[in-house]
Amino acid sequence: MNFAAEADKEHDNLKEYSKTRFSELVEIFSEENKAAVNYEKLLCRATLILGHVKPKDAADQAIRDLLADVFDFLHISRQLILQGNLSAAFPLLRRAFESSALIHYFILKPLKADNWSNGKQIENREVRKFLGSNRIGLTAAEDAYKKAYDDYSGGSHPNRKYVPYRYLGEPNEFVLGSVVKPELLIVGINFSKLIGLWFWLAAMISMHYFKLFEIADPTYSRDYMKVADFAQKIADVLQNKCVKWSKEYDAQHQNDANVMVNS
């Protein structure tokens, strides 16, 4: 084999692999994708409204910048998930999670945004302890928040749990990009996280700017509830799918382990 020529060919095919994987996964996860796109359009609408009103203080400015930050990461994450590039999507979801937490923190403690805007780093521990103990807003108990943070942190490092099996040489000959079909369970878990983050972001922004949105766009709140209700319905269905896929995933990898032991 001419490895140099074959490598050039595979490199040229990377875009096609992504397109193929996207077309497959967008069909399987059509409703989940719709839920995410609904949120993208809703937040575009919210951004346009905010774009016609100057921020009133440092906290308002910070929240708007973080809103854009989270949007960009979630928008790109959806595309990566549908291309099967799950390892690349996960760190972006973590960043979106951390920026969303800061939005929530600044909504409840706006004076903290002054320090952040002046370059002071706010430790996640500080955010976690406050949000976890505060019963105002949407965040659950501190241990639930910490569990989510630990999950995102673990996926941002090359732990075996988060690095997909690609079986290079056993027997796959090329495993880069989107060439390997991802496990539906892993895609489903990533989509679940994506929808959850959109749900959190949209709820915070829609509630924080409720009066402004009501004046500028009276139908915004009604449409927000439609988007949120649809997303919740899809998230519940997806959870049931993931339970099914988890059983299939465990069975498959147990079979693979048995084969390796007996070979």
The arithmetic mean of pLDDT across residues 179-204, rounded, is 93
165 part of a folded domain: yes
Rg (CA), the chain: 21
Q: Is the pLDDT of residue 197 over 50?
A: yes
Is the N-terminal amide bond of 164 cis, ω within 30° of 0?
Answer: no
pLDDT band for 143, please (50, 70, 90 cuts): low
Residue count of the chain, please give it.
Answer: 263
Report the C-alpha gap between 5 and 134 in whole angstroms. Answer: 60
Burial 29-63 (b: 16+ CB within 10 A, else e): beebbebbebbeebbebbeeebeeeeeeebbbebb
pLDDT over 70 at 223, yes or no: yes
Domain assignment of residue 230, yes or no = yes
Confidence of residue 257 (pLDDT cuts 50, 70, 90): very low
For 164, the domain range is: 31-262
Residue 26, domain member (yes or no): no
Evaluate whether residue 231 is within a structural domain.
yes
pLDDT over 80 (residue 53): yes
At 57-110, the pLDDT tens digits run: 999 999 999 999 999 999 999 999 999 998 899 899 999 999 999 999 999 999
- Banded model confidence at residue 127, pLDDT cuts 50, 70, 90: confident
Which helix H or strand E contains 75, and what residues bound it?
A: helix 58-82
Tokens of 4: 């140099």
Q: Is residue 215 part of a domain?
A: yes
Domain count, the chain: 1
CB 152 within 8 A of CB 97: yes
- In 10 A of CB 143, how many CB atoms? 10
What is the spatial distance between Cα 238 and Cα 120, in angstroms, rounded to a whole number? 39
21 domain residue, yes or no: no
Q: Is residue 104 part of a domain?
A: yes
**Three-state SS at 138:** coil
- pLDDT over 50 (residue 140): no
Stretch 109-127: mean pLDDT: 90
Q: Which residues pair with 254 in a beta bridge?
A: none
Q: Is residue 52 part of a domain?
A: yes
pLDDT tens digits along 146-175: 677 777 766 666 676 667 778 888 888 898
Helix (H, G, I), strand (E, B) or coil at 215: helix
